Amino acid sequence: MAAARRAYWKGYLKLSLVSCPIALYPASSQAEKTHFHQINRRTGNRLRQQMVDEDTGKVVDKDDKGRSYEISKGKYVEIAPDEVKAIQVESTHTLDIDKFVPIDEIDRRYFDRSYYIVPDGKAGEEAFAVIRDAMKNKGRVALARVVLTNREHIMAIEPFGKLMLGTILRYDYEVRDETALSRGVATPKIPKEMLSLASHILDTKAGHFDPSQFNDEYEMELRKLVKRKAAGKPIAREQPAERPSNVVNLMDALRRSVDGGGKRAAALKTSSSNRKTAEPKSRKTSTRARKARGAA
């Protein structure tokens, strides 16, 4: 992979006095998704966006564009690029490990985007493997500081097969508190039978996570639509399905779900039994036929 794609970032992974050269590669991509461009429907030409002055309506030249912070409604304080650079964190090109923590201690809400971490060249392979395998043996993940695009981030680093996986963590101020929402959620007393039925349904649908089993149906249909449109074929517009009524008896719905699951399981069991019993019966029939032919 390292040879096939361009590294997003190169630097050093540092643990105390041990360091090794590494490279980061994005672990996910949006490139394969279908993307649209805006066009002029009259000419078919692609459109380009322009920056327009909110009051005058005139297009602003590139040299006149700047950044500002709104301090009050309609009042802005301009921040020059040089002023921003004055506060930017120095880029050390180092993933500096601060501490090691159990992965379960990191709230999932803090996970943002992930990168594959690979050794950059033969020189760092041994140090890379030592740090990776030590974390694997201890069941810990590293928390490190890294500067990407002129901003400092916290990255959680964990073993990932032969590689390591580095995930940028959100800062505390970026994660919204759920307390206010929790106050509005009722805590009804659930009957034991209802909970038992729901638990049974969960058991019948138990499985394991396999991302290959999930298809992006919208993306697939979108590609079909584009293909048909490009071929000049008509596009059929289906009527939206009626929304089901929200007024249901929860206990009845749970019972029907269990009964439906039970009938399907019984049908599968019966079908399997029929296949098992059919084979011995056919063997007995063929044996009798051979005996009859021999007697004749």
- Measure CA 180 to chain center: 27
Q: What backbone torsions phi and psi does residue 118 show, to the nearest 5 degrees?
A: -130, 150
Alpha helices in the chain (DSSP H): 81-87, 125-138, 179-183, 192-204, 217-230, 250-295
Q: Where are the beta strands (DSSP E) in 52-174?
A: 67-72, 75-79, 94-101, 111-119, 141-148, 151-160, 163-169
pLDDT higher at 86 or 222: 222
Q: Tell me, what's the pLDDT at 129? A: 94
Per-residue pLDDT of 246-279, as tens digits, reads 556 777 887 888 887 555 555 545 554 554 454 4
DSSP result, 9-31? EEEEEEETTEEEEEEEEES--ST
Residue partners of 252: CB distance under 8 A and separation at least 6: none
What per-residue string of b and e applies to 118-141 under the rule 16 or more CB within 10 Å gives b?
bbbeeebeebbeebbeebeeeebb
Residue 179: band (very low, low, confident or very high) from pLDDT cuts 50, 70, 90: very high
Average pLDDT over residues 268-293: 48
Per-residue pLDDT of 1-37, as tens digits, reads 444 578 999 999 998 888 899 999 999 988 888 888 9
**Secondary structure letter of residue 170 according to DSSP:** P
Contact assessment for residue 155 and residue 98, using Cβ atoms and an 8 Å cutoff: no
Residue 150: band (very low, low, confident or very high) from pLDDT cuts 50, 70, 90: confident
What CA–CA distances, in Å, run from 34 to 30, 38, 219? 9, 14, 7
Give the chain's mean pLDDT: 82
What CA–CA distances, in Å, run from 282 to 204, 276, 279, 286, 293? 34, 11, 5, 6, 17
pTM above 0.75, yes or no: no
d(CA 187, CA 149): 45
**Secondary structure letter of residue 46 according to DSSP:** B
Closest by Cα among 14, 20, 222 to 124: 20
With the C-alpha atoms ordered 193, 196, 202, 203, is the resulting torsion angle positive or negative?
negative
Contact assessment for residue 179 and residue 130, using Cβ atoms and an 8 Å cutoff: no
Span of 65-69, 170-174, 236-240 with lowest mean pLDDT: 236-240
- CB atoms under 10 Å from CB of 79, counted, come to 13
- CB atoms under 10 Å from CB of 72, counted, come to 7
d(CA 11, CA 22): 6
Residue 281: band (very low, low, confident or very high) from pLDDT cuts 50, 70, 90: very low
**Secondary structure letter of residue 250 according to DSSP:** H
Per-residue pLDDT of 222-247, as tens digits, reads 888 888 888 888 887 777 667 666 55
pLDDT higher at 101 or 123: 101
Q: Tell me, what's the pLDDT at 209? A: 81
Closest by Cα among 129, 103, 94, 90 to 24: 94
Residues 221, 223, 224, 230, Cα dihedral to 10°: 150
